[in-house]
Amino acid sequence: MKRAILVSAIHSKDEDVERNLLELEELARSAGIFSVAKFWQFLDKPLNTYIGKGKIEKISKYLQLYNADGIIADDELSIVQKTKLEELLNVEVLDRTEIILKNFARSARTSEGKAEVELAMLEYRLSHLKGSRSHLSRAGGGIGTRGPGESKLETDRRAIRERIRNLKKKISKLSKNRNLKKRKRSESLLPKISIAGYTNAGKSLLLKRLSGFDVKSEDKLFTTLDPTTKKIWLGENVHALMSDTVGFISKLPTQLVNAFRSTLEEVLDSDLILLVVDGSDEALEKKFKISRNILQEIGAGSIPWLLVINKIDLCDKICLKRLSLEYSNAIFISAKKRLYLEDLINKVREKVTHNYVEKWVEISNQKWFKISKTIGMRVLNVENMSESVKVHLKIHPAILGKFTEEIDVFST
């Protein structure tokens, strides 16, 4: 599909259909499909043709007029809806879930990511297998060999189930490896920070700015799929591990929530979550709420978090004023223009060392030289005397005992 008409059936007057369709347009664009027109219809109850017959006739005319070769529905369609629409319009019909899956497929890099996407696709396919032969041949279904007395549909189903089983085994093995790495990290004293939030909010660009590493960031939805972790410098001798994560979206398909649960578990392991939102987006509030809900759903609701309002270079003064009143605890930044990143770093450093124990010590220059880079020690101030230094420190509780012992020996 290259050029598509976007279609939405709405069942509640509260739905902001224009905004939803703009998001679908972005999803399509990111998957390489150009949207030529948008149609929507308010319906009291779901129809097995997704939208009404009159609307379908209208769309059929516009398909020719705009030389479009498919339609995309803004919801996950049932097999009946998809089949009927295809029959009535005689073009390819994709739904929101399939477009999201296409984007995920575009971005998968690691074996685990690729396997997760394939699993989500197969689960979608299993629930949308068409019953009749003609549909099957058109859908190009046909993996595996048919057993005695099995229909084509049964053969397909069996083959898909088998592949799903194998993929699940593979993913569990790969995620065990990742967990080993994660365990190593959790043994370290470095605080763990996750960057989470709606897709395209600027999470990856923020990680790139804070870490100095080249992290892929582009103006497409779901550019990041696999979690990337980088070591970042927070000042005052504090380092942290910061992970970029897959973006959130409204109506996140269940296949993907399940497939990416293990990836999202990275977030569960963090000491702090930076919830990034796009300050220039009119749908900020909705996207912020969706992100908070997803975090709660995956069990990360009680992890300390900080709201980071990004892209303020695109906001005018009035908008900024409104946002700062509404979200008075948020940090306002522009990852692109590198605005207020220092403020963000300072705030993050405070947050991740809040349970460190404060100490003022005077020790010899020689000893200070040896210990000044200790991990788990925040250095707030150093006052140079002639033979010694007076330092104001905050110490990670896990090394406090050992630290105090050593300091006692050398500080005299």
Ligand X SMILES: Nc1nc2c(ncn2[C@@H]2O[C@H](COP(=O)(O)OP(=O)(O)OP(=O)(O)O)[C@@H](O)[C@H]2O)c(=O)[nH]1
Residue number of the CB atom closest to ligand X? 247
- In the block, tokens 């029959």 appear at 87
Which of ligand X, Mg ion, none interacts with 310 (beta carbon under 5 to 8 A by kind)?
ligand X
218 binds ligand X (CB under 6 A): yes
204 binds Mg ion (CB under 5 A): yes
Angle of helix 341-352 versus helix 203-211 axis, rounded to 10: 80
Neighbouring C-beta atoms of residue 161, cutoff 10 Å? 13
243 binds Mg ion (CB under 5 A): no
Q: Map the footprint of ligand X across residues 2-61, applying CB under 6 A.
A: none
Q: Map the footprint of Mg ion across residues 40-99, applying CB under 5 A.
A: none
Which among 19-27, 109-117, 223-231, 277-285 is the span making contact with Mg ion, rule CB under 5 A?
A: 223-231
Hey, what are 121's tokens?
């696709």
158 close to 144: Cβ distance less than 8 angstroms: yes
247 binds ligand X (CB under 6 A): yes
Which of ligand X, Mg ion, none interacts with 205 (beta carbon under 5 to 8 A by kind)?
ligand X
In order, the DSSP letters of 166-225 are HHHHHHHHHHHHHHHHHHHHHHSSS-EEEEEEBTTSSHHHHHHHHH-S-----SSTT---
- In the block, tokens 């899956």 appear at 101
Specify the residue, 20 or 107, whose C-beta has the smaller distance to ligand X. Answer: 107
Specify the residue, 25 or 92, whose C-beta has the smaller distance to ligand X. Answer: 25
Tell me how far, at minimum, the Cβ of 29 lies from ligand X, in Å: 12
Specify the residue, 97 or 204, whose C-beta has the smaller distance to ligand X. Answer: 204
123-156 core/surface letters (b: 16 or more CB in 10 A; e: else): bbbeebbbeeeebbeebebeeeeeeeeeebbebb
- Would you give the binding string for Mg ion spanning residues 149-188, x where CB under 5 A is met? ----------------------------------------
Q: Map the footprint of ligand X across residues 142-201, applying CB under 6 A.
A: 199-201
The count of chain residues that interact with ligand X, using the rule CB under 6 A, is: 22
Which among 11-19, 146-154, 215-223, 318-326 is the span making contact with ligand X, rule CB under 6 A?
A: 215-223
What element of type H or E holds 377? strand 377-384
Contact residues for 279 (Cβ-Cβ < 8 A; gap 6+): 309, 310, 311, 312, 314, 315, 319, 320, 323, 332
| HEC-encoded secondary structure of 31-95 | CCCEEEEEEEEECCCCCCCCCCHHHHHHHHHHHHHCCCCEEEECCCCCHHHHHHHHHHHCCEEEE
316 binds ligand X (CB under 6 A): no
219 binds ligand X (CB under 6 A): yes
Q: Map the footprint of ligand X across residues 220-239, applying CB under 6 A.
A: 221-224
Which of ligand X, Mg ion, none interacts with 270 (beta carbon under 5 to 8 A by kind)?
none
Which among 224-232, 275-283, 347-355, 402-410 is the span making contact with Mg ion, rule CB under 5 A?
A: 224-232
The alpha carbon torsion through 292, 235, 191, 360 (nearest 10 deg) reads -120
Q: Which residues of the chain form contacts with Mg ion (CB under 5 A)? A: 203-204, 223-224
Residue ranges that bind ligand X, judged by CB under 6 A: 199-205, 217-219, 221-224, 247, 310-311, 313-314, 334-336
